Amino acid sequence: MQIQEENQPFDDINVTPMLDLAYVLLVIFIIMTTASVQGVKVKLPKSKMTASLAKPHLKAITISENGDVFLDAYPVSMEQLETRMTQLKQVNPAQAVVLKADAHTHYMKVMQTLEVLKKVDVTDIGLVTARVAN
């Protein structure tokens, strides 16, 4: 039986703590990526000219094919949309909004949404389209 002296260096490295840390980070990464809000999937109309609308504090209003309205992926009625946009406008007078409607949505629903935005004095509005492949 061999006895190691106190000053003798170890020949191997214990990787168990490093693996524990890697597994914890992997679990955190998986949880964070699946917990993020993905939004509402809609089929966007096609356009040849699309611009980047990335702005801080940008709110997204989505209208699905059957006319359901969502504010940042949360379903809202027109009255709730008006109330929430009024609150957001009071906090940030320069509130910007992007309107993302399905290509098969009735135009009347889009107009009702635009009227609500006009009523609460939101003027910075972008319309989301998909770029046409050349």
**Domains by residue range for the chain, with CATH:** 46-131 (3.30.420.270)
pLDDT in tens, 8-19: 776 777 888 888
pLDDT at 38: 58
Q: 36-69 pLDDT, tens per residue?
A: 555 667 776 666 665 554 555 788 899 998 989 9
Indicate whether 4 pLDDT > 60: no
**Strand (E) positions, the chain?**
46-47, 59-63, 69-71, 74-76, 96-101, 124-127, 130-131
